[in-house]
Structure 1
Amino acid sequence: MSFSRLSHMGALVLLASLSTNPARAADGLPDPTFGTGGAAYITPDDVEARELRPYAALALPDGKILVAGERNKFIPSSPFDPHMRGMLARFDADGTPDASFGNIPGIPGVLVLPDLVPLTGAGMQVIEAMVRLDDGSIVVAGTAQAFGPLRGFLVKLDAEGAMDTTFGTDGIQLVPEVYVHALAVDSQGRFVIAGEKSIDTVAHSYVARFDPNGAPDMTFGTDGGVVIDWDGAGESRGGYLATLGLTDGDGILVGGGYEVYGAGMGSDYAIARLDSTGAFDTAFAGTGWRVFHRPDDSGQIIDAIDRLLPTAGGGAVFVGHYQLDDGQGNTSIETVLGGIGADGSMDANFGSGGDGFQPVAIAPGSFTRYATGFVRQADGNLVASISYVGPESSFLAFRFTPDGTLDTSFGDAGIASVDMAPGGVFSDPSALTLDAQGRAIVAGMAERTAPLYELAVLRLTHDDPQADRIFANGFDGTR
């Protein structure tokens, strides 16, 4: 996963000119009712934490915002080693850190998980995904690694962050030799994860399912998991899954990248659809999976799906990245949207090129762009957050209509770009969700004052097109 820096040339200022027409709320501007000018922060104390970075976000029914990721602390005796633990943080609906939540004195709103793999020395324990159950409990998933054996994990917490000891072993279910990047809960309360499984030092795309108590679901795949080798070549080619979504009947869509050109030689887009047993759904692309690239992607071999959302009947829309060569020896990683039909073929009605793809021109001058979040508003519009490296620094999001057209009513001609560290060093978005009013909530990290990496949350306005324009202040939509 890449984490980046920087911004769109038409950047929105954070504290001024947010809404000049009180009779109508615009979409995709910093929400002045949240935090300060739309932005809220939790600042580390540089004792228990130097860095707070979220990778997952949820809007709770009471309007509060919950994020999850990692806390890193600085220890002088080992200054170059990671000291990361799983972290959750909660904000009140107005952007104030929720002082009723957490376990770190001096940093209100922050809860740090215990060592999930004690005595192994794992220095990187990072939450990447999170779901909320109907009873208000939370399940998070991620990976423990570095200086210890590789372990994926699932952890169940109650609504206030206490470990649910009825889940797994004392609230923790470990998954040996697995990286976990994505998590979903199906109609039976079972937990589905996607990521990679290390087999003979090669990372293979991997999906697994666990019962509501955290135990591996032995009715799924082989011993509860499915290894996807994509083309079945039997070679040592790596694959990874960055995202998943559930379809009708508890089917599973997963997406990522596969080294179709050979080990270490780049990747193509990879997507698969499994049925509820973990078998490939052969109604999708004839095999249940596809590895593909854009028709005009000649010679470009850094392609992968970053995030996907299921569509009716088992298709998908996705946001991903691809390599672009300017013909002068300079390459960059660019953003693209794609639409896939229920039969696994590209949806020719999606995008403007007739091939199911829609490249997105964002962040001029940058050289990497990766999607960190992808959500669908109630009207079907698609919002994505983008992390990128370039000459500036901001939280970046864009919105497209359901057919793949840039929605110019959002932000600045379709793109919202907000510097979350004005006068500071950088800001970088790493999670995205929607609240009950359809407002996009972008979470990430900001370095306003070195060396502290603050947890930063931005809420953008959302105008309900069906509401009375005179009184509208932006509501509508569900996640």
Structure 2
Amino acid sequence: MSFSRLSHTGALLLFASLFTIPARAADGLPDPTFGLGGAAYITPDDVEARELRPYAALALPDGKILVAGERNKFIPSSPFDPHMRAMLARFDADGTPDAGFGNIPGIPGVLVLPDLVPLTGAGMQIIEAMVRLGDGSIIVAGTASAFGPLRGFLVKLDAEGTMDTTFGTDGIQLIPDVYVHTLAVDSQGRLVIAGEKAISAVAHSYVARFDATGAPDLTFGTDGGVVIDWDAAGESRGGYLSTLGLTEGDGILVGGGYEVYGAGMGSDFAIARLDATGAFDTAFAGTGWRVFHRPDDSGQIIDSIDRLLPTAGGGAVFVGHYQVDDGQGNTSIETVLGGIGVDGAMDTAFGTGGDGFQPVAIAPGAFTRYATGFVRQSDGKLVASISYVGPESSFLAFRFTPDGLLDASFGDAGIASVDMAPGGVFSDPSALTLDALGRVVVAGMAERTSPLYELALLRLTSDGADRIFANGFDGTR
């Protein structure tokens, strides 16, 4: 039902709401009570911004959605240089950009942070992760790179986006020579980050912890950090971490990929579990870490964990990608789920193949597929968002059961695919969250009209929620 029809039938809806007959929308479809037909946008003005891309999203208790990522500008004098700055944006619960938030004239709802490191114009400062603390303040994490030394960063903001000068130095904690991709806050309010640390021109997997003031936690690892080499032989190969989760007792699970050599060069799945001191938990895989690939590949192609969620006792479920070669010189990057037991071994009860892996056929015809978000619903079901490159592009999410099976009650046989740029160029999902009522919200970028890259949100319907009588009739707002 369209919004125009709703506006002409308010009396009928009010009459219908007096009865107890439920009226539910299907699960995993665009939610017509959000934005326009389930989609909401913030459009750049091509002066202060040409591109608004989120990499992190979270739901606020009042129903608003906060996203964070980067804003890019087009500068005619340097058209090929990046002019990316850290950006946050906030939407009201109905998908309207929050006009009370932000600092960019003409683009309501968008806040661009000041330069976190000295720059002369060009450069990249990108937020990749975000958490909300119990007092409502926000911590964002990311990396400043290009045209200067590599530095990770943590920034603390109050609920309205003002930098908290009691944190770090004027609200900023810089982390030299580190890429920061993911962030969590533990039970004691300490901040845990993961990514890569550049050592002798090689990127090594790296985990670090900071106290609530932004200072390195010197009780963790060595000088507040842990380098994971992934190799008992001590070889200096590249490794990266794209995801982390916290376990009981403030233990840490991290996942990503580790460089492997052979007839070719690629990466293996890599996962490690640390205790609260930063030491490897040797109850996990015997060493505290594990590098592995699927039984049917050579170990010389591309495998990686994109996102993980801990399970009870310190196991994990993950969504990642792997390379497929059709034997005729054609390769593609496909999506795979995996289950890891408490002991670090594959959970053979996960999926249907008996090996702990569950490939997912998604986005037919695409060349690459990478998970950009991963959440667990209150009923234990799991939802992932997928970014892909192919003949067409849409916001894509899929839902599966805790044992690795696609949930046919969601979208189309478990997969929701929505073109957020109909008639336009492309749309690409890059973050995922659940709102205050447990509904799936996918965030990303859409190019409906070239050359503007809009910030886009998609909200999907959720089973058990009355969608037709939203916006007042169901008492949720």
Q: Cα distance, 1:261 vs. partner?
A: 2.1
Contact 1:87 1:112 in 2 (8 A): yes
When structure 1 is superposed on structure 2, of 261-270 and 314-323 the one drifting more is 261-270
Distance 2:244 2:100 in 1: 33
Q: Cα distance, 1:22 vs. partner?
A: 7.2
Distance 2:321 2:3 in 1: 14
Q: Cα distance, 1:7 vs. partner?
A: 32
Q: Cα distance, 1:297 vs. partner?
A: 1.9
Q: Cα distance, 1:349 vs. partner?
A: 0.8
TM-score normalised over the length of structure 2? 0.92
Q: Cα distance, 1:299 vs. partner?
A: 5.5
Contact 1:217 1:224 in 2 (8 A): yes
Q: Cα distance, 1:327 vs. partner?
A: 1.6
Contact 2:50 2:453 in 1 (8 A): yes
Q: Cα distance, 1:66 vs. partner?
A: 0.2
Distance 2:79 2:373 in 1: 31
Q: Cα distance, 1:8 vs. partner?
A: 34
Which sections of structure 2, spanning at least 5 residues, go unmatched?
none
Q: Cα distance, 1:16 vs. partner?
A: 22
Contact 2:350 2:356 in 1 (8 A): yes
Contact 1:300 1:324 in 2 (8 A): no
Distance 1:278 1:5 in 2: 58
Distance 1:80 1:236 in 2: 34
Change (3 A) 1:107 1:280: same
When structure 1 is superposed on structure 2, of 189-198 and 117-126 the one drifting more is 117-126
Contact 2:267 2:300 in 1 (8 A): no
Contact 2:314 2:342 in 1 (8 A): yes
Contact 1:66 1:89 in 2 (8 A): yes
Distance 1:334 1:8 in 2: 46
Distance 1:3 1:289 in 2: 52
Contact 1:5 1:389 in 2 (8 A): no
Change (3 A) 1:18 1:98: farther
Change (3 A) 1:116 1:227: same
Change (3 A) 1:32 1:22: farther
Q: Cα distance, 1:467 vs. partner?
A: 7.1
Change (3 A) 1:280 1:148: same
Q: Cα distance, 1:475 vs. partner?
A: 14
Q: Cα distance, 1:328 vs. partner?
A: 1.4
Contact 1:102 1:161 in 2 (8 A): yes
Deviation sequence 1:22-61 (CA, Å, 0-9, x none): 7322211000000000000000000000000000000100
Contact 1:101 1:111 in 2 (8 A): yes
Q: Cα distance, 1:334 vs. partner?
A: 0.2
Distance 1:122 1:327 in 2: 43
> 1:13 aligns to what SS in structure 2?
helix
Distance 1:327 1:8 in 2: 59
Distance 2:333 2:18 in 1: 31
Change (3 A) 1:354 1:15: farther
Distance 1:470 1:5 in 2: 12
Distance 1:69 1:259 in 2: 27
Distance 1:233 1:373 in 2: 34
Q: Cα distance, 1:393 vs. partner?
A: 1.3
Contact 2:428 2:446 in 1 (8 A): yes
Change (3 A) 1:228 1:11: farther
Contact 1:333 1:367 in 2 (8 A): yes
Q: Cα distance, 1:301 vs. partner?
A: 1.3
Change (3 A) 1:340 1:95: same
Bigger Rg, structure 1 or 2: 2
> 1:29 aligns to what SS in structure 2?
coil
Contact 2:25 2:466 in 1 (8 A): no
Q: Cα distance, 1:232 vs. partner?
A: 3.2
Deviation sequence 1:380-399 (CA, Å, 0-9, x none): 10100000001111000000
Contact 2:264 2:300 in 1 (8 A): no
Change (3 A) 1:2 1:88: farther
RMSD: 6.3
Change (3 A) 1:56 1:73: same
Q: Cα distance, 1:19 vs. partner?
A: 20
Contact 1:378 1:478 in 2 (8 A): no
Q: Cα distance, 1:184 vs. partner?
A: 0.2
Change (3 A) 1:10 1:449: farther
Deviation sequence 1:392-446 (CA, Å, 0-9, x none): 1100000000110100100011100000000000000000000121111000000
Contact 1:7 1:417 in 2 (8 A): no
Change (3 A) 1:368 1:162: same
Deviation sequence 1:265-302 (CA, Å, 0-9, x none): 11000000000000000000110000000111235510
Contact 2:33 2:467 in 1 (8 A): no
Deviation sequence 1:143-177 (CA, Å, 0-9, x none): 00011100000000000000000000000000000
> 2:3 aligns to what SS in structure 1?
coil
- Structure 2 residue aligned with 1:470: 468
**How many residues are aligned here?**
475
- Structure 1 residue aligned with 2:438: 438
Q: Cα distance, 1:264 vs. partner?
A: 8.4
> 2:249 aligns to what SS in structure 1?
helix
Q: Cα distance, 1:247 vs. partner?
A: 0.3
> 2:97 aligns to what SS in structure 1?
coil
> 2:227 aligns to what SS in structure 1?
strand
Contact 1:121 1:148 in 2 (8 A): no
Higher RCO (CA < 8 A, seq sep 6+): 1
> 1:66 aligns to what SS in structure 2?
strand
Q: Cα distance, 1:118 vs. partner?
A: 1.4
Q: Cα distance, 1:5 vs. partner?
A: 33
> 1:433 aligns to what SS in structure 2?
strand
Change (3 A) 1:3 1:116: farther
TM-score normalised over the length of structure 1? 0.92
> 1:11 aligns to what SS in structure 2?
helix
% same residue: 90
> 2:149 aligns to what SS in structure 1?
coil
Contact 1:179 1:197 in 2 (8 A): yes
Distance 2:394 2:279 in 1: 42
Deviation sequence 1:245-267 (CA, Å, 0-9, x none): 00000000000000132798110
Contact 1:122 1:149 in 2 (8 A): no
Distance 1:209 1:80 in 2: 36
Contact 2:22 2:466 in 1 (8 A): no
> 1:14 aligns to what SS in structure 2?
helix
Distance 2:122 2:300 in 1: 36
Change (3 A) 1:33 1:186: same
Distance 1:270 1:38 in 2: 37
Change (3 A) 1:218 1:299: closer
Q: Cα distance, 1:6 vs. partner?
A: 32
Contact 2:263 2:300 in 1 (8 A): no
- Structure 2 residue aligned with 1:447: 447
Q: Cα distance, 1:329 vs. partner?
A: 1.1
Q: Cα distance, 1:471 vs. partner?
A: 8.1
